[in-house]
Structure 1
Amino acid sequence: MTTMNEINAFDSLGIGQPTVDNSARTELGQEAFMTLMMAQFRNQDPFEPMDNGDFLGQLAQFGTVSGIDELNGAFSGLQSSIQSDQALQAANLVGRTVLAESGTGSVSNGGGVAGAVELPSSVSNVQIEITDASGQLVRRFDIGAQQAGVSRFNWDGLNDSGQQVADGQYEIAARVQYGNEIESVPTLIESNIASVTLGRGGSGLTLNLAGGEQMSLARVRQIN
């Protein structure tokens, strides 16, 4: 069995194990290619010289392979950088509140739900309707006339009888009145971020909300 002292002794005599330099191997490959190309050029038949197109084609092929290797390396570095940025972004989102388009609000610990509607123009009234998991109407209330833009509302978690509803998920819908016409509009609901899932291969972030709903970061309108 070869001992460490024996290896060191070999090294001192200059007969140790050679090390492999991968960068040198890459450069040797490039040099060998050019050496072969020049040899082919010098040894060609003067009566049948190499066609200019063939010569340029071989150079282009070598340049393409080398360029692809460099490009792959650049993309690999860029992907790693993006994934690192996403991981930092995900860590900073946990525990914060987002306002995002959703038709579901979560009631917990005897609380309520905050939300908003985004209006393209002024309306004479906005009506909010809350229904439970069985589709039963729990609460209906008006927030009155609103200007164009984002108009906020708060449901205190009480039903029409003034009693606190049970914890759970509730459907929240909004209807607006334009003159004599009534139309439904999407609702924006505030939710707490319980955790964040980072997609594989940098595919993006998925927000896991406190009420159990999942959504992509692209759906978020505001982060508090």
Structure 2
Amino acid sequence: MADINSDYLKQYGLSGYGTAAESTTMASESSKGKTDLDQSDFMKLMITQLTTQDPTNPVSNEDYIAQMAQFSTLTGIQELSQSFASLSQTLLQGQTLTAATLVGKEVLVPSSTAELSAEGQAIRGAVELTSSANHARVDIYSNSGALVDTLELGALSAGLQEFEWDGVLANGTAAPAGSYEFRITAQSSGAEDESSAALTPLLTGQVRSVSTDAAGLMLEVQGMGRVSFDSVKQVR
């Protein structure tokens, strides 16, 4: 009988009878290198406990039921994790299909730079204000860092406020194709001093492609590079 039990226990990484402490140690050693216990480990520990318990002082029904409840909870958590992983994959696939329809369209995203692909082209943008501003302006810089034009936006109310640069330099000539930087400053209503705060520009660019990586769903936007799909404010 001892040999049969020994063979039976070997398949679970255990061997023979012994004290509870010895068997628990063997079960623990069989799981070396692991950082978490799985269902197999749980079953090994339970079988070890049942086969090495003191016959005069067996595990009580309450303890056994509690252990089975823990096992059920572990199984439920693992199944729930698998379900969430499957749901996440399904949602990502749905987002990818939706984002694919944006290829060739213009999107409004947070960016300080935009590309002027040809003379006479306009660049549209916006600024999102949490409160009204007494005065706001947009300074536009060339790729070399030179200030080429300024848009006076005046007083603005809270919310998403749009603007457009017609692609004409301050001297009245058409701006050459290239990348331009936009810096927006605004003075909040009721401010005690005359200082202005820098705000994040929102600029439009054409979506070239869609991809996914560890960061999630990404859009390749002309003149802006890769931007997160979640950062899109508007589709135009």
Q: Encode CA deviations 1:111-153: one digit per residue, 9 max, x unaligned.
A: 1211122234443432221111211111123233333332221
* Contact 2:139–2:149 under 8 Å retained in 1: yes
Which residue is equivalent to 1:189? Answer: 203
Q: CA deviation at 1:80?
A: 3.0
- Give me the whole-angstrom Cα distance separating, in 2, the residues matched to 1:124 and 1:66: 60
Which residue is equivalent to 2:31? Answer: none
Which residue is equivalent to 1:132? Answer: 142
Which residue is equivalent to 2:88? Answer: 79
For these two proteins, the number of residue pairs brought into alignment is: 184
- With over 3 angstroms needed to count, the CA separation of the structure-2 counterparts of 1:94 and 1:52, relative to structure 1, is same
- Give me the whole-angstrom Cα distance separating, in 2, the residues matched to 1:186 and 1:207: 19
SS in 2 for 1:86: helix
| Structure 1 residue identity aligned to 2:147 | L
Q: CA deviation at 1:191?
A: 1.6
SS in 1 for 2:176: coil
Q: CA deviation at 1:162?
A: 1.6
Unpaired runs of 5+ in structure 1? 1-32
SS in 2 for 1:70: helix
- With over 3 angstroms needed to count, the CA separation of the structure-2 counterparts of 1:85 and 1:51, relative to structure 1, is same
Which residue is equivalent to 1:5? Answer: none
Identical-residue share of aligned pairs (%): 34
Which residue is equivalent to 2:118? Answer: 109
Q: CA deviation at 1:211?
A: 1.1
* Contact 1:128–1:175 under 8 Å retained in 2: yes
- Give me the whole-angstrom Cα distance separating, in 1, the residues matched to 2:204 and 2:157: 21
> What aligned pairs does 1:24-173 form with structure 2 within 5 A after superposition?
48-60=57-69, 62-64=71-73, 66-110=75-119, 111-173=121-183
Q: Encode CA deviations 1:165-217: one digit per residue, 9 max, x unaligned.
A: 221211111233458724132222122211122124xx521121111422213
* Contact 1:128–1:172 under 8 Å retained in 2: yes
| Structure 2 residue identity aligned to 1:204 | G
Which residue is equivalent to 2:5? Answer: none
- Give me the whole-angstrom Cα distance separating, in 2, the residues matched to 1:159 and 1:107: 12
* Contact 2:129–2:160 under 8 Å retained in 1: yes
Structure 2 length-normalised TM: 0.64
Which residue is equivalent to 1:174? Answer: 184
Q: CA deviation at 1:95?
A: 2.2
* Contact 2:205–2:224 under 8 Å retained in 1: no
- With over 3 angstroms needed to count, the CA separation of the structure-2 counterparts of 1:107 and 1:48, relative to structure 1, is same
- With over 3 angstroms needed to count, the CA separation of the structure-2 counterparts of 1:188 and 1:80, relative to structure 1, is closer
Structure 1 length-normalised TM: 0.67
